[in-house]
Amino acid sequence: MNLLQASGIRRTYGSLQVLKGIDLEVKKGEVVAIVGPSGAGKSTFLHILGTLDRPDEGQVLIEGVNVFTQKDKDLAKFRNEKIGFIFQFHNLLAEFTALENTCMPGYINGLGNEKEIISRGKELLEMLGLSGRMDHLPSQLSGGEQQRVAVARALLNKPSIVLADEPSGNLDSHNALDLHQLFFKLRDDFGQTFVIVTHNEELAEMADRRLVMQDGMMLP
């Protein structure tokens, strides 16, 4: 069974057809890269895979669950438990420490107790080489460190799939490579599944599959 299966995804904004019927199948432990020009609809598609936006037509199955048949409240819970997000700009909350930011998704649906959440957050930050940075605010961290905190946060709830939109778009090439290697390590060590939208060809070439989106379609 595929971990994720999207079929016939269409999305229109006003008169603009942004997604023109897209299919995607992702197996557990795969790292799938999506490349393509700006405006191709990559972010729109990723938002739909992540249930942040509903398609006009088509369906998304994650671990066999037809996600958009759920009510908004159930969908929000499903999203928080099953899907991790990493964006180009880390979106860490400025007034919270690295550890607090990492732990944030743990508090949303009352998964686990506070002690467990904090211990999981610390474990992740240690694994990502941030043991000495846990009590730092985002402003006290480098760009690469901030993005690793965002990775830790994405992994907190042990998501089935991590969706990343230009995760290294704001990093220099050295930090970008570090981040990419981290994704593959997480795949190799834990079978973590990734769908990554990127302009970074090095990353796209390293991925198990390099898909190209253009003009609202996935090229064959």
Complex with ligand ADP: residue 36 or 58, whichever CB lies closer: 36
Complex with Mg ion: residue 62 or 196, whichever CB lies closer: 196
Out of 3, 22, 33, 43, the residue judged to bind ligand ADP by CB under 6 A = 43
Complex with ligand ADP: residue 34 or 149, whichever CB lies closer: 34
The answer to whether residue 40 forms part of the interface with ligand ADP (CB under 6 A) is yes
What tokens were used for 9? Answer: 């995804």
Residues in a beta bridge with 59: 7
The answer to whether residue 192 forms part of the interface with Mg ion (CB under 5 A) is no
Complex with ligand ADP: residue 41 or 121, whichever CB lies closer: 41
Q: What share of the chain is helix, strand, coil (3-state, %, to 5)?
A: 40, 25, 35
Give CA separation, 59 vs 11, 37, 40, in Å. 12, 25, 20
Cβ at position 13, least distance to ligand ADP in Å: 3
Strand 161-165: give its sheet, edge to edge: 83-87, 161-165, 193-197, 31-35, 209-214, 217-218
Number of residues that bind Mg ion (CB under 5 A): 2
What tokens were used for 15? Answer: 């008169």
Residue 92 touches which of Mg ion, ligand ADP, none (Cβ within 5-8 Å per kind): none
Give CA separation, 119 vs 57, 138, 160, in Å. 41, 20, 20
Give CA separation, 172 vs 12, 59, 147, 169, in Å. 35, 37, 12, 8
Indicate the residue whose CB is closest to Mg ion. 43
The answer to whether residue 89 forms part of the interface with ligand ADP (CB under 6 A) is no
Out of 15, 38, 69, 139, the residue judged to bind ligand ADP by CB under 6 A = 38
Cα–Cα distance between 31 and 26 in angstroms, integer?
Answer: 8
Residues in a beta bridge with 22: 9
Out of 26, 30, 44, 83, the residue judged to bind ligand ADP by CB under 6 A = 44
The answer to whether residue 41 forms part of the interface with ligand ADP (CB under 6 A) is yes
Complex with ligand ADP: residue 44 or 101, whichever CB lies closer: 44
Out of 6, 32, 42, 87, the residue judged to bind ligand ADP by CB under 6 A = 42
Residues in a beta bridge with 26: 4
What residues make contact with ligand ADP under the rule CB under 6 A? Answer: 13, 16, 18, 36, 38-44
